[in-house]
Amino acid sequence: MTDHTPPPQTGRDRVPAAVEPDNPAEALAVRVSPAASPGAPGAVARRRAGRGLRVRFRRLAAGQAGLSTIEYAMGTLAAAALAAVLYLVVNSNAVQSAISGIITGALENVPG
């Protein structure tokens, strides 16, 4: 038996040899023809490309595992700070008297 190594692919069926961690956008560079049948030339390479793409996406997702947690924590902290500022503003004497004046004026102008 002879060892058959397929020729390097170019164009539409290009499969990158490796994805550098500092360039995750290269993971999207895989292009596979969806109309090819399993027995067609290059089908094995396409299956490998699909498998490699899944592995690349898992690696990209794993590298961002803690990112959403810190985003939620920062969002919660920002919301709490905004709530504290609004509480202080609404409870100030100037704002309370302005709100009271608006409500009193609205109630005095009710027809009846």
pLDDT, average across residues 81-95: 95
Secondary structure of 70-110 in the HEC alphabet?
A: HHHHHHHHHHHHHHHHHHHHHCCHHHHHHHHHHHHHHHHCC
**2 against 58, higher pLDDT:** 58
Say what the pLDDT of residue 66 is: 64
Higher local confidence (pLDDT), 59 or 8: 59
Strands (E), 1-112: none
C-beta separation of 42 from 24 below 8 A: no
